[in-house]
């Protein structure tokens, strides 16, 4: 069924009668209904138009790091098929699209002037989005650090934060007349701790102290980058950062389990929330990790003030909650295993998989975790709007000969989590939008092409795109600006 056929078959807009209206949950006017992607996961074109190697190109070329030796060299070939992909977005009814800009495509060595051919790709993409009536949201960094910067120390080196600010400035100068929504970093927790502590993400290093240094310099990069964006963008521009906040729950109410939850919350959430939103690291975090890094030497005068550069909204990425206890050595932490912990200062905390339904990533499905995170941010920062910048589910999708991908599990997941967002809005939380992860099946990092998160099925050998049942469901929700009441 095409999107046009789905519209013709849809009898529900507007809601027909009072009984139906009672079972309908309408979102505010102007709500951003979007989907999200990242450059390395979909673009391909890895060696075209001056793009240099990123840390993910190097990581993928290292035997044993990525499932089946997969790489993002071609991915979903979005670099050549962007017009087709924007047409899919328009047909779905998206009014917003969140994408990332590939740093090594724009500034191959992480220094010096921009490569105009790289910027031209994003100019064309943004122009096409605007022509389609789709608001572009640009993310400056989604994990693809230029390899040249990693070779000189990467995120554990202070200079990388300044290099990021320079990159932010030149990119905003090029696209600021077209793009009004900017995100500095996507999931800096993953960049710092999966990249430099557990090593399951690029660049694959396993030094707990360096991971904490990386976290601080990512905080600093966010602040310096935000200030650089403010220098050149119109006052109407909306700036944000996207954090994969962990909804941490203690396995029991026993003091030792509550202490385990506190420690994970410190290094999983507050290590970024504190500097970015309050200009401070919490004392318990510093104490937990003092044996790994000299914070007095690491944090220089002015760093925390810089990190707390004001933003207009906070992006929340959420997939699953974390259930923890003291000890036990269980490592079901949803972050790819490995021999090294991504939780410096909390290496001995045990993670547990809650009962109930799981995604293809073996992540627990629990929309209450999203509601709890939204409530927490609102309670701590009541004047700060939030936007759900990533939320979605990996399924065991396949395309049968007749061509329909019937991903009913993903529809249920989206319905539940959009319901949680609506509950938060009804309670007075200013949630400005929701971005389903992801628009397309893509390169899923260390899992290669083995996991599918897309609303649109991609047959990678042919690059044929097929909207899944979830895409049609989401299109209907967008047209109605709402969803039915949850069962």
Within 10 angstroms of residue 157's Cβ, the number of other Cβ atoms is 16
The catalytically annotated residue of 187, 254, 396, 404 is 187
Question: Which among 302, 294, 240 has a CA at the least distance from the CA of 272?
Answer: 240
The secondary element (H helix, E strand) that includes residue 484 is: strand 482-484
Q: Hey, CA dihedral for 17, 469, 433, 193, is it positive or negative? A: positive
Beta bridge partners of 331: 351
Query: Which tokens sit at 274?
Result: 């504190």
The catalytically annotated residue of 43, 128, 390, 444 is 390
Contact of 430 with 43, CB cutoff 8 Å: no
User: In 266-302, which residue ranges form alpha helices assigned H by DSSP?
Assistant: 271-273, 283-289, 295-298
Contact of 189 with 273, CB cutoff 8 Å: no
Cα–Cα distance for residue pair 172/179, rounded to 1 Å: 8
Cα–Cα distance for residue pair 46/50, rounded to 1 Å: 9
Give the dihedral of Cα atoms 320, 325, 328, 331; nearest 10 deg: 20
- Residue 178 half-sphere exposure, CB side, CA atoms within 13 Å? 20
Cα–Cα distance for residue pair 63/68, rounded to 1 Å: 9
For 450, list phi and psi in degrees, rounded to 5. Answer: -80, -15
Active site residue 390: yes
Within 10 angstroms of residue 167's Cβ, the number of other Cβ atoms is 24
Cα–Cα distance for residue pair 355/192, rounded to 1 Å: 30
Give the dihedral of Cα atoms 87, 130, 186, 357; nearest 10 deg: -40
Q: Which class for 267: exposed (0-12), middle (13-18), buried (19 or more C-beta within 10 A)? A: buried
Active site residue 259: no
- The size of the chain, in residues, is 487
Cα–Cα distance for residue pair 216/299, rounded to 1 Å: 8
Measured CA to CA in angstroms, residue 471 lies from 42, 137, 172, 405, 454 at distances of: 18, 20, 32, 10, 9
Measured CA to CA in angstroms, residue 124 lies from 223, 438, 453 at distances of: 29, 21, 26
Cα–Cα distance for residue pair 367/281, rounded to 1 Å: 29
Beta strands at 349-352 and 322-326: parallel, antiparallel or unpaired: antiparallel
For 438, list phi and psi in degrees, rounded to 5. Answer: -135, 170
Cα–Cα distance for residue pair 186/169, rounded to 1 Å: 17
What are the catalytic residues? 187, 390
């Amino acid at each position: 069924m095409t999107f046009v056929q789905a519209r013709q078959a849809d009898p529900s807009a507007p809601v027909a009668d009072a009984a139906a209206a009672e079972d309908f949950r309408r979102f505010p006017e102007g709500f951003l209904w979007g989907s999200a992607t990242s450059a390395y996961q979909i673009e391909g074109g890895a060696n075209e138009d001056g793009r240099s190697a990123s840390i993910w190109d190097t990581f993928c070329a290292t035997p044993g790091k990525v499932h089946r030796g997969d790489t993002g060299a071609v991915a979903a070939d979005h670099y050549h098929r962007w017009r087709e992909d924007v047409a899919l977005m328009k047909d779905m009814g998206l009014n917003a699209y969140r994408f990332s800009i590939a740093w090594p495509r724009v500034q191959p060595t992480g220094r010096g002037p921009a490569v105009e051919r790289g910027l031209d790709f994003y100019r064309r993409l943004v122009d096409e989005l605007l022509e389609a009536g789709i608001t572009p949201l640009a993310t400056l960094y989604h994990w693809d650090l230029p390899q040249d910067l990693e070779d000189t120390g990467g995120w554990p080196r202070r200079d990388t934060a300044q290099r990021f600010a320079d990159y932010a400035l030149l990119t905003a100068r090029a696209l600021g007349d077209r793009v009004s929504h900017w995100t500095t970093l996507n999931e800096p927790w993953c960049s710092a701790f999966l990249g430099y502590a557990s090593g399951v993400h690029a660049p694959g290093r396993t030094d707990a102290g360096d991971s904490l240094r990386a976290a601080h310099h990512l905080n600093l990069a966010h602040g310096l980058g935000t200030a650089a964006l403010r220098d050149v963008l119109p006052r109407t521009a909306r700036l944000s950062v996207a954090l994969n906040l962990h909804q941490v729950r203690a396995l029991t109410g026993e003091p030792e389990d509550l202490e385990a939850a506190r420690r994970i919350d410190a290094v999983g959430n507050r290590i970024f929330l504190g500097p970015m939103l309050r200009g401070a690291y919490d004392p318990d975090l510093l104490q937990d990790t003092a044996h790994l890094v000299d914070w007095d030497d690491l944090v220089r005068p002015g760093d925390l003030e810089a990190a707390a550069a004001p933003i207009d909204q906070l992006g929340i990425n959420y997939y699953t909650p974390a259930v923890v206890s003291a000890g036990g050595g269980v490592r079901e932490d949803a972050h790819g295993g490995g021999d090294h912990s991504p939780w410096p200062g909390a290496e001995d905390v045990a993670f547990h998989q809650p009962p109930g339904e799981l995604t293809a990533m073996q992540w627990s499905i629990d929309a209450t975790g999203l509601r709890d995170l939204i409530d927490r941010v609102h309670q701590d920062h009541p004047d700060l709007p939030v936007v759900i910048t990533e939320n979605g589910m990996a399924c065991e999708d396949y395309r049968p000969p007749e061509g329909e991908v019937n991903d009913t599990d993903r529809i249920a997941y989206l319905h539940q989590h959009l319901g949680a967002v609506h509950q938060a809005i009804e309670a007075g939380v200013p949630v400005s939008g929701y971005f389903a992860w992801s628009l397309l099946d893509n390169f899923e990092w260390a899992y290669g092409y083995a996991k599918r998160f897309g609303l649109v099925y991609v047959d990678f050998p042919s690059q044929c795109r097929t909207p899944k049942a979830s895409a049609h469901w989401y299109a209907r929700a967008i047209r109605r600006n709402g969803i039915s009441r949850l069962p």
